[in-house]
């Protein structure tokens, strides 16, 4: 199965399903199709080495292999489940025998020192207040707790990855690319709007001939594009004309409803006043 699938505004997919030993296998990649309304030619090329190419309008959009992009056969390689991690740190500390040499005098630096600019107050009394000591301030020479410096690890070879080994369940099939004899071509169409046309289906074993067919079909692309743009102009003009008529009709109806409403309100006011006068006349007659 090969071809575009457009459904609503979200689904814009290119299907590619390969049949092998009675089972259908969809491609694992997400392929996108064209979304405009012009003619497009989709080509799937499958080669004897199980490699493939996907072309749209003669230009390659994607490529790969039946071995990797479908789950038809088990993978050739699998991760070694019993492999042990050989991770190394990218940096290491200075050798231990250098640390004492670097540490000499480092830890003896106090975090705070007496403020050299502080002076004992004149009214300070040692007998009453005790021995005066200047307040302390942060020591600018203090560098925090000592930590050994780190250097690049000469034995580091990058991030460790699980190695791959041969898959014991893999069994190659040299005829993986071979398709069964094709007798029929079916087109699946589920349309919710008109305008799609399917034709010019070609199945062959000559990529060069297929390329010539594509070029021949698309040789009138510019003429088609000009005709399509002209048709779009006519369609938009017709839609605008219909929309204008609808607006004018709506305005006419609103005016008529406004006239009827004013007429009814005026009639109700006259009728109400008339009833009031009739009631007064009846009361006058009784007097």
Residue extents of the structural domains in the chain: 2-73+172-203, 91-166, 219-287
Query: Percent helix, strand, coil in the chain (nearest 5)?
Result: 35, 20, 45
Is residue 280 predicted with pLDDT exceeding 50? no
Work out the percent of the chain whose per-residue pLDDT is above 70. Answer: 77
Return the higher-pLDDT residue of 72 and 104.
72
Cα angle for residues 41, 44, 48 (degrees, 5° grid): 150
For domain 2-73+172-203, say whether CATH 2.60.120.200 is its number: yes
Q: What is the pLDDT of residue 284?
A: 47
Cα angle for residues 20, 25, 29 (degrees, 5° grid): 135
Q: What is the mean pLDDT of residues 196-201?
A: 81
Q: What is the pLDDT of residue 56?
A: 94
Return the higher-pLDDT residue of 46 and 198.
46
When mean pLDDT is compared across 32-36, 251-255, 279-283, the lowest value belongs to 279-283
CA–CA distance, 19 with 157 (Å, rounded to integer): 44
At 89, phi and psi to the nearest 5?
-75, 145
The answer to pTM > 0.75 is no
Q: Which of 141-145, 147-151, 183-187, 196-200 has the highest mean pLDDT?
A: 183-187
Q: What is the pLDDT of residue 57?
A: 92
Question: What contacts 239, CB < 8 A, 6 or more positions away?
Answer: none
Name the CA dihedral angle for 112, 115, 120, 125, rounded to a multiple of 10 degrees.
-10
User: By three-state DSSP, how is residue 193 classified?
Assistant: coil
**Helix and strand counts by DSSP (H, E) for the chain:** 5, 12
Q: What is the pLDDT of residue 97?
A: 47
Q: How many residues does the chain have?
A: 287
């Amino acid at each position: 199965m090969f071809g575009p699938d457009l459904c609503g505004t979200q689904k814009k997919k290119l299907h590619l399903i390969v049949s092998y030993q009675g089972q259908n296998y969809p491609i694992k990649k997400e392929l996108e199709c064209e979304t405009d309304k012009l003619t497009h030619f989709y080509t799937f090329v499958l080669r004897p080495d199980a490699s493939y190419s996907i072309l749209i309008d003669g230009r390659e959009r994607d490529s790969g292999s039946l071995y990797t992009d479908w789950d038809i056969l088990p993978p050739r390689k699998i991760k070694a489940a019993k492999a042990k991690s050989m991770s190394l740190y990218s940096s290491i500390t200075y050798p231990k025998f250098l640390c004492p040499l670097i540490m000499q005098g480092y830890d003896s630096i106090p975090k705070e020192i007496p403020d050299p600019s502080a002076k004992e107050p004149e009214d300070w009394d040692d007998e009453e207040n005790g021995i005066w000591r200047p307040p302390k301030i942060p020591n600018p020479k203090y560098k925090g707790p000592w930590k050994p410096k780190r250097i690049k690890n000469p034995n580091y070879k990058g991030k460790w990855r699980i190695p791959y080994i041969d898959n014991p369940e893999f069994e190659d099939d040299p005829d993986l690319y071979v398709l069964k004899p094709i007798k029929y071509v079916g087109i699946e169409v589920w349309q919710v709007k008109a305008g799609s046309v399917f034709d010019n289906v070609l199945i062959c074993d000559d990529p060069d001939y297929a390329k010539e067919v594509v070029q021949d079909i698309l040789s009138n692309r510019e003429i088609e594009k000009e005709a399509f743009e002209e048709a779009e102009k006519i369609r938009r003009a017709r839609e605008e004309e219909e929309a204008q008529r609808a607006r004018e009709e709506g305005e006419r109806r609103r005016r008529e409803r406004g006239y009827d409403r004013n007429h009814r309100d005026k009639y109700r006011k006259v009728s109400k006043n008339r009833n009031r006068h009739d009631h007064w006349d009846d009361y006058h007659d009784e007097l």
